[in-house]
Structure 1
Amino acid sequence: MSKNPLFDEMNERSLEVFRRVVEGYLETGAPVGSRTLTRSMSEKVSAATIRNVMQDLEFLGLLGSPHISAGRVPTQSGLRLFVDGLLEVSSPNNDDRSKIEETLGTNESDVGTLLDRVGSALSGVTHGASLVLTPKHEAPIRHVEFVSLGPDRALVVLVFGDGHVENRIFTPPPGQTPSSMREAANFLNSIVEGHTLSELGRVIQREIASRRQEIDTLARDLVESGAAVWTNEGEPTERLIVRGRGNLLSSDESGEDLERIRALFDDLERKRDIAEFLELTEGGEGVRIFIGSENKLFSLSGSSLVVSPYMNADRKIIGAVGVIGPTRLNYGRVVPIVDYTAQLIGRMLSDRS
């Protein structure tokens, strides 16, 4: 149990009332009333006694009453206290594990496609929206090539030292010619060897500044626009895969809830702060839970996020996987599923490397 000092303010009866209110709310999404609790308490107590306990818990900031004469619901502080100190977590059941494992049991060579399938399975199993931050390919680059696909479309081919090849379509600056594309590719191939994608942006800017006279304006513009694609700045090669948005909608949502969900959808559509999503996992292994406004990425929507990093064979964090949903998530079920999925992805990527 957590060492939160609020537990010192609670006796066995108030602790049981608090736990049953939270569990009832997480199960139904509805306020829990005193009469309901009289039927489930371990000792026989009156509804009036339970109401008094609820008032004390409300004074501590752990419960709230959405309407006059209604039952109680946990506050954000109450949910945090429950998750940190009372949440019972078990292993994922066999059915949930097999649904996740099936997505990785194929011969699909593209990691992004595999992780897309994992995200779809994760959203299906948890009934929330899944978020998967895919790893950057960090092997050194061996060769770069530009291919014109039309006046406003071009392909950049990246060949890595480990044999991995990536093709990315982007919109080149206007006026590009076959000769400017060759010049841009030649310039890049003279500097890329031994550098990873993460390093390449800084190297390009430094080399362009020092060798400005060696490369004409068209080729320089192409190099810089290509670099934006490699670092995924607004292009369709986003590293954050979002699946299962529809799971966040239900027929009984209130108007206020729907507005929060729309705000969440807007955040997910823009896929902002991808780097910050990975920062949420700082602190090493293990699942982290962000409830409501604690979740700095999606705080306006009042949602909860359960997220875990996954690691490569060198125990380096290279990505993250998570589930986002309403604050009344079934934390006891979602937490072990997210943890299991992160470990499974890490093992899969380690085996491939």
Structure 2
Amino acid sequence: MSDFTSDGPNTLLELNQRSRDVFRQLVETYLETGGPVGSRTLSKTGLVNGASLSPASIRNVMADLEDLGLLSSPHTSAGRMPTEAGLRLFVDALLQVGDLSDDERAGIESQLTGSNQAVDDALAQVSQTLSGLSHCAGLVVAPKREARLKQLEFVPVAPGQTLAVIVFEDGLVENRIIDTPVDMPASSLTMASNYLNARLKGRSFGDAQRQVRQEISARKAELDALTAQVVEAGLAVWSGTDSVNGTAERSLIVRGRGNLLEDVQALEDLERVRKLFDDLETKEELLQLLTMAEDADGVRIFIGSETKLFSLSGSSVIVSPYTNADNDIVGVLGVVGPTRLNYARVIPMVDYTARLVTQLVS
């Protein structure tokens, strides 16, 4: 399900069937228990064609897997844990993805269908639902606002400064300060307002913005130099984009941080969760990370240091984009949790929820 390029398949070719079986069973046990897995634990299960292996045989295999960088031995424990490279190999080549139960599907659907709540409220519920089902933190990147505009006014507030007031049809009002010439006459502000209102009303800002800039560029706009300057300043300061990096503004919804504390077993686990909390507060970087998932065809998985953001907290992110009626990707949703999360269960959960949200926003 992941579209990461990795060395997983090549490494898999180096493993014989016994090594694959031991590796798979060890990772599955680790994901279930969260702790190092010993040879005696694995010897109690049938691993190769139903035959049990002795602890000594398993230890030899585990040593080989450790030499390949797939396992590590934490502290002085005799048990082994998968490394990030090992988890990547498991997810890419050996994971058997399950399916959601009827109850799980119905539970997700009940949160997203048959409701008249606004899209933003529904997406907040999506994040909460993903959090509850996965026992991780739920993440949703909401679509950038495309509300229709009702009115725009320029109001002088100080020499060289003008307040741009934008009113949307849904009742939202946004104010931005723009720089204007100190000697700007009130008539130029009025003319700029009238010019923009004639082109903005009932349209998304992005659509109207393109028309206005084309007119100005082609000198079709009947504006004097000062009025054109106000219009350009208004378009620049409020264009639906972030003024720092030029990317579309997005709303990040995070729910269920408390779930990440449930499985804390030691002080080092608590420290990792604390670092993860810090990472979740770094919203700009997290948005950039989630935006990367927009290039994915379906579910995408980030494990640990594969992303700079979560390199210290040892976390995994499972995300999927969702689309609008035109099949354009407009947002991303998913979960973040420890690298030992239940991939087989969470992957189909994120995938199914993304498909439902696509229907919601279409």
CA contact (8 A) 1:302 1:327 kept: yes
- Residue identity matched to 1:347: Q
- 1:129 aligned onto 2:137: yes
Give the match for residue 275 of structure 2: 263
- Give the SS at the match of 1:280: helix
Match 2:292 to one of 246, 270, 279: 279
- Residue identity matched to 2:12: F
CA contact (8 A) 2:192 2:231 kept: yes
- Residues 244-290 of structure 1, C-alpha deviations (whole Å, 9 max, x = no match): 11111236354444343333323322311425422323043x11111
CA contact (8 A) 1:25 1:328 kept: yes
CA contact (8 A) 2:272 2:314 kept: yes
**1:241, CA displacement in angstroms?**
1.1
- Residues 175-206 of structure 1, C-alpha deviations (whole Å, 9 max, x = no match): xxx99986664353245369644466777789
Structure 1 residues 68, 126: CA separation in 2 closer, same or farther (over 3 Å shift)?
same
- 1:4 aligned onto 2:31: no
- 1:15 aligned onto 2:15: no
Superposition pairs of residues 5-154 of structure 1, within 5 angstroms: 5-41=10-46, 42-138=50-146, 141-145=148-152
- Give the SS at the match of 2:115: coil
CA contact (8 A) 2:209 2:235 kept: no
CA contact (8 A) 1:104 1:348 kept: yes
Match 1:231 to one of 230, 241, 261: 241
**1:116, CA displacement in angstroms?**
0.8
Give the match for residue 192 of structure 1: 200
Q: Which runs of 5+ in 1 are unaligned?
A: 160-164
- Residue identity matched to 2:89: L
CA distance in 2, matches of 1:249, 1:180: 58
Q: Which moved more, 1:244-253 or 1:109-118?
A: 244-253
- Residues 221-246 of structure 1, C-alpha deviations (whole Å, 9 max, x = no match): 7765544xx43669xx8511111111
- 1:250 aligned onto 2:262: yes
What's the TM-score once normalised by structure 2's chain length? 0.78
What's the TM-score once normalised by structure 1's chain length? 0.80
Give the match for residue 331 of structure 1: 343
**1:297, CA displacement in angstroms?**
4.3
Alpha-carbon RMSD across the aligned residues, in angstroms, is: 3.8
Q: Which runs of 5+ in 2 are unaligned?
A: 2-6, 156-162, 180-185
Q: How many residues align?
A: 338
Structure 1 residues 251, 282: CA separation in 2 closer, same or farther (over 3 Å shift)?
closer
Q: Which moved more, 1:333-342 or 1:110-119?
A: 110-119
Give the match for residue 162 of structure 1: none
Among all aligned residue pairs of Structure 1 and Structure 2, give the percentage whose two residues are the same amino acid: 47
CA distance in 1, matches of 2:72, 2:151: 59
Larger radius of gyration: 2
